[in-house]
Homo-oligomer: A and B are copies of this chain.
Amino acid sequence: MKRTVLSTILVVLAGSVLQLAGSPAQGAPPKSGKIRHVVLFKFKDDATAEQIKTIEDAFRALPSKIPQVIGFEWGTNQSPEHLAQGFTHCYLLTFRNQADRDAYLRHPAHKAFGKLLGPHLDKVLVVDYAPGD
- Enumerate chain A interface residues (CB-CB to B < 8 A): 2-3, 6-7, 9-10, 13-14, 16-17, 20-21, 23-27, 30, 35-38, 40, 60, 63, 70-81, 83-85, 87, 90, 92, 94, 98, 102, 105, 124-133
Contact = CB atoms under 8 A, between A and B. Distances in A.
19 contacts: A9-B10, A17-B17, A17-B20, A20-B20, A27-B71, A36-B73, A36-B90, A40-B127, A73-B132, A73-B133, A74-B132, A74-B133, A75-B129, A76-B129, A79-B126, A80-B105, A84-B127, A87-B127, A125-B125
Interface class of chain A by DSSP = mixed
Considering the complex of A and B, which 8 residue pairs feature the smallest CB-CB distances, nearest first?
A: A75-B129, A20-B20, A79-B128, A83-B126, A73-B131, A13-B13, A25-B71, A24-B73
